[in-house]
Amino acid sequence: MATTDLSHYDKASIPNAKDLRFGIVVSEWNSNITENLFLGAQQTLLDNGALPENIKRINVPGSFELVYGCKHLLKKGGFDALIAIGSVIQGETKHFDFVCEAVSQGIKDLNIQYDTPTIFCVLTDNTM
C-alpha cells in the first residue's frame, strides 16, 4: 500500500542513469495501454540520464509471455535493470486470474533467481 504521494517526490535525489543499461519487455496485447506505459518509462529513463542506446526494448505477444522475455534478456546479461510492461483486463472468465498470478509469480521468481532487478509494471484492471 502506498503511504505517500508524488508531492514528496524529489527528482534531484535520483542517481544519474548515464552508465546504466535497461531492458524493457512490452506486451503487445492491449497495446493502446502498454505502448503509453513504455513511452512513459522510456522518457523517465532518458530524463534521468539514460542514453537511448542503453535502452533495449523487446516485444512479447501478451502479459503471460513477459516472464519469458525478461528471462531471455537476463540470460543474455549486461543489463542493470529490466522493466516488464503489460496490461491485463478482467473479462468474464478466470483467464484474468491465471494470467495475473502467473506473471506476478514469474517476475518474483526472476528477482529471486537473478541479481538484476526486474520491475513489475503490469496493470491488472477490472475495466478499460
- The residues assigned a catalytic role are 95
Sheet holding 81-89, edge to edge: 55-60, 22-27, 81-89, 118-125
